[in-house]
Structures are given as C-alpha cells and as structure tokens.
Structure 1
Amino acid sequence: MTSDCGCILIVCGLPASGKSSLIHQIETGLMQEFRIIVVEYDHLMPGDVEKMLITETSAEEASKWKLYREEIVECVDILLGNLSGLSSVSPKTCSVASQPVSVSDGLWMKFEECYTSILGNEVPSGASRPFVIIIDDNMYYRSMRYQYFQLARKHRVGFSELYLDCSTETAVSQNAMRVAGQVDENVIRSMATHFESPNKETCQWEKHSLQMSSHSAIIGDIRLLINSAIEDPVHPLLVEDVEQKEESRQICSQSGIHQADQILRKLIAQQMIAAKASGTSTDKLKQMAGQLAEKRSRILKDMKLGIVTLNLTTDVKNASKDPNSQLYKFIASVFC
C-alpha cells in the first residue's frame, strides 16, 4: 500500500462513551503504520449546534446545524482530494488549498491548523504509510455517516466505521465526571433513543464496521478493520456529463420526495408483515410501528432540508414500483 491510498474511519457513539480515549489509543498504537488525521467535530463546531438538532426548536436552527455540518464535510472533501492523489496540488505543500466560498472563516481557520500540520509531517525513510482520516463525532443517524461514504466513493478510498457501544446510564455517569465539555443529560438520553448503530447485515455499504466497548477495544481488531477497508476502496459511480448532472439536481424535487415517501411506506409495510409473521406481540407491533413512522418522517424531513442528498443519474418517475431503481435502493440503504 502507498501513501496516496487510505480510508475514512467513522468513530461514532454517544457523548462521553469514550470515543476520544479510544482514538488516542488508535493514534498511539497505529501511528507507525498509518498516517492518522483526526477530524474532531467538538473542536470544529460550536457546542450549541449539536443541541439544535436534538431539541429541534425550529426549522431555522435545524438549517444552521445542517450548514455547519456541510461545511465540515466540504473541508474533509478538500483534504481527501489532496491525500488521495486526485488533486493537482501536491500533498507535501502546506498551502494546499484556498478557502472554499461556502466555508466560514472561523471553521476554515480551525481546520487549516490541523490540515497544515498533518500535511507537513514527513514519511519515515523507507516507509510508505496509507492515510486514515478519523471522523470523531456522535454520528447517530445513518444518513450522517452516509455523507462520508459518498466522499469515499468520490475519492476512491476505503470506508469503515467503529461504533463504541455504551449504555445510556454509563454515558450519563461518565459525562457527569467530566471536568470540562459536559453535555446536557437530556441531549444524551434523546440521542440514545434515536441512535442508528452500523449494521453490516442489512446495509451493504456498512460492511467494514466494528462494534466494541471502550473496555474491550483491541488495537489488532481495529488494524484489521482499517486494512480491510483500504484494500477494498469504494467503487465510483459512472461519470456523469453536464446534462446528467443537471438531471440529478432535479431529483430533489417534490416528485422525488413523493416517490421516496412511497418507498418508505412499502419498506415499513414489509417489516411489519415480517414481524407479525414471526409472532411478535401486539404491544411490540404497535411500538415498532411508531418507531418506523418516526424514522420515515425524519428521513423525509432530512431530504427536504437537504441533509440527505440524492446523487442519482436516472429519472425517479415510478421508482417506488421498481425495487431495482436507483432511488429505491438508495432509500432502502438509508432506511435500513
């Protein structure tokens, strides 16, 4: 493996679940094998922004949260462009990129501090280390993580996820012991009820994922996860011409959202039928129906706000009637 290959590693979990400590272990244990770059959301994003999403006080605040997160993704996009060798700018140059118009001054300044220092590191003589971009964030919605899968596809690098499993009560307890950076307890509890942990059994794009607790973290297992992702980079979609790109932008219309809604309703019906056939009790069926309905509403809301984007190349007309259509497969991957 060469220094221009690598992967994205999403480290997700509840606040105070031990993500930062685990990432420090990864840096210490694997720094001789990989060029590790940590993108820490807590450092880049104002502390009250995450709470905006949890409390959902208004559409305006949700849009502000979306904007911050989109800017971070765009910064990582630029970073990947240089590290993966797809950029015309040398990754050994400190001033590797100019500030994107859509990224705020404050965020770019913070990001560039980390960016420049990492790119300035020298590769040890006789060694060629693949890079690993670690995304340190709660990432409790699957759609959040899917944005980085799309980046991995764009830059033809690997994609992997490390989920730090932690009970709500443990997270609350550990959060209370923090000297600084405590998170509102209600935020932790609300996030726990909404958390969508990686599931490689039902979501093929999450196939390189690992679940562990902070007490059972084994560097050897994490090394295998990273190597497997690097050796299996995400395959790019077919290159689109200008007209196809314009068509793809039109997919985010009301027609596309309507088709997505129809697909979500079908997926819910399938899960309910399967649960009923397996003998699930009436009370559990009611609970399941409520949870699935809430999930459907959230996905549709994310689509309307642009949090979930549809980068498809085909018309969505009647997509809900074709399980093999791009839209149907996309919605199924987000819903799973």
Structure 2
Amino acid sequence: MNINDNEQIVNLLLILIGLPACGKTTFSKTLIEYLYSNKINLIDNNNLTSNIDQQINIYHLEYDEIFKLICKKIDNNNSLENWKPTRLEVYSQILNIINNKNNKLILLNQILPIKSYKLSNNIDNNNNNSIDNINKSKTIINLIILDDNMYYKSMRYKYYQLSNSFQNVKYCQIYFKKDIYKSIENNNNRTINNQNHNNFKNINYHSDQDEMVFLLSKEKERNITKNNIIHQFDLQCRKIISDIMKSKTKSSGCNSSVNTPYSNVSKVLSQYKQTFLKTTLTGFIQDNHDYIQEYSDIIPPPHIKIAF
C-alpha cells in the first residue's frame, strides 16, 4: 500500500496456535521485547538501502484481553454471547491496521502499536535540505501478532486469505505443541482472574458450549455437502460414460451385451472416474472447505444434457 510516492506499508501477520496456557502470550511478550530492545530489522537487510528508512510498529492482539474489553463495553459478562463479537472485533481491528484506515466498524478504540521503533541510514541527518533526504523513501512495517488459540483451520483461513487479497500482507503461523496436562498445570498457576475455568474440557480454548456447538454443526454441514457433491459428480460421470459407450457401440454396430474392444474402454473410464472422485475432487473440496457450499452450484442438474 502506497500512502504517497515515498512511503510504503508492509504488514506481517503472525498467527499463534495452541492450547490455553501453552506459552503463546509469554512468547509474544518475549518476542516484542527482543525486537524492540535490539531494534531488529524485520525485512531483508538488502532493502535497507541508503535511501530507505523504516518504521516498525508492533501490534499485540490478545483475544482474552479484547474479550474482557468487549464484555465491559456491552455490559454483559456472558461468554456464550460475547465470543462472536470479540472475534469480529479482532478481525475488523486487523483490517483497519492493514488498510491504514478505520473502514471497518469496531466497538473499541482502534488498537495502537504496543511498541514502535525506527531504523535509519543516518545519512546527513543535519542536512534536511539535501537531495538524499528529500528523495528518501520510508517503509512502515506493521508486525501484527494475533494471540489466540486458532485451533480450527477455518478460524485461521480468513486471515490467510488476507495475504491473497492484499499484496502488502505476509502470513505466518506458529504452532505451540504442549501436553494438555502441562497446560492445565500452567493454568492453575495463574492468578484467579486470569484462569480459564473448564475450557480444557473442550479442545478449542475459546469454544465454550455455544461456540463448540456452532463449529461442530458447521463441520457436520461441510461433511454432508462434501458427500453430496461427490455423489452428484459420481452420477454425472456414470451418465457421461454410459452415453459415450452407447454412442461408440451404436456407431460401430456392435452389440453392447457382448464383449467388445469398447469394454476395455469402459473399464478404463470407470477407473479414471474413481481416481477423480477419491483423490482429485475430494482433495479439492478438503482444501477449499470454506467455499464448499458454493461448489454445489457447478454441478449440472440431472435434466441438463451435456454435449461433447
């Protein structure tokens, strides 16, 4: 995103994945302090040329803290109702950071960087009128750390899509693998206000009963739609093969009831069909499950005759 001719914005989106109390927030704070204390350059050092300055802004979006603010904002401490607006708030906040505008409606104030620092080439800083300073470019780098459990792929996918929708967004995710019993132990060692009671009963940290039911029902719908799509494609493929074989046997004058050279063709086509349904189509649906419902629209209705 170019703010002006001499300014560019790069957004680095870092997604943290893991159970509660597995160390995501501790990692975030340690990383932020390390980057800030050492003034780390977040992009290729080759990009820091004599005519480019950098400003690094570090954002830490911690779901638990935003959830508390949302509950306070709407005067309702019922997590069964507030997890949805909290997730929407987090996503909208990130979009506003990426766009450098407050385009998305948010409940809270726009989140500000928790740390910021600059990297400069320090060329003749006292000569503000020099040609080098006038033509100097500036790169703004936003490191956005999303500190949430992000257990389901569907929860992360919309953030991954941002890297496809915006050329200035780079996506990265880190998975924190930790024994659940160790996570429970860490949770018990927290102060009372920061403990997450009963959340370990569900594999998704922020999925309380209401959210878990929603996600499970969504997953069930996906499986039903997936099976229906495969079934519909199977019927269409069978019909296509049948039409091809009828056309071939009719044109050759062969009796379809006896063994002919076209029998082998039928077997080969059937094998291709099985391979397509079991691997290609299934894999395609699995990789694009967020749009799976839309795929049903590309299946021709049974009454439409397909020409070859």
When the two structures are superposed, what TM-score results if normalisation uses the length of structure 1? 0.46
RCO comparison, higher one (Cα < 8 Å, 6+): 2
The structure with the largest strand share of the pair is: 2
